[in-house]
Structure 1
Amino acid sequence: MITFSSLEKLKAYIQGNVMTTSEVLDYLKISRPGLKDLIDRGKLAPLKEEKATRLFFRADVEARKREADELKKKYRPYD
């Protein structure tokens, strides 16, 4: 369990390790339907989901990007 000695340290942790839907879309260079498809297929899971807002762990998003890049190299080497 992670504990924080101050509110500022908690905020810094969240800002550095949590991404919004818009940040994920920009980082992965995908559309909202593409993100929904990743979530539906279990390839990316939101940390928290409330109505129109989703939050994601940065490490999960970065791992998905690495996986997608490897698949592109394998199946689309001409791109």
Structure 2
Amino acid sequence: MYIFESREKLADYFRNEVVNTTEASEILNCTRQNLYKLVKKEVLNPIKETPKDRFFWKADIYARKEQVENKKKS
């Protein structure tokens, strides 16, 4: 369990570790629809979903990007 000293520290953590759908699709260089398909196939798992957006761990998005890049090299 994480304990943050202040709301500002929590906000900094969130800004540095979490991305929304738009940011994730920009990092992965894919469409929102493609990102939705990855979620549906359980390739990516959002940490929170709202009616208009999803939030992902930034590390998971970069790991997926690395997987795709490695596949292209093979």
Q: In angstroms, what is the RMSD of aligned CA positions?
A: 0.8
SS across alignment from 1:36: helix
Q: Could you say which residue in structure 2 is the equivalent of 1:23?
A: 23
Higher-Rg structure is 1
- State the TM-score, normalized to the length of structure 1: 0.89
| More contact order relative to length (CA 8 Å, sep ≥ 6) | 2
- State the TM-score, normalized to the length of structure 2: 0.94
Superposition deviation, residue 40 in structure 1: 1.1
Runs (5+) with no aligned partner, structure 2? none
SS across alignment from 1:56: strand
Superposition deviation, residue 47 in structure 1: 0.7
Q: What one-letter code is carried by the residue in structure 2 that aligns with 1:30?
A: C
Runs (5+) with no aligned partner, structure 1? 75-79
Equivalence map 1:1-79=2 (5 Å): 1-74=1-74
Query: In structure 2, what is the Cα distance between the partners aligned to 1:33 and 1:72?
Result: 21
Aligned residues between the structures: 74
Once superposed, which parts of structure 1, at least 4 consecutive aligned residues long, lie more than 3 Å away?
Answer: none
* Identical positions, percent: 36
Q: What one-letter code is carried by the residue in structure 1 that aligns with 2:72?
A: K
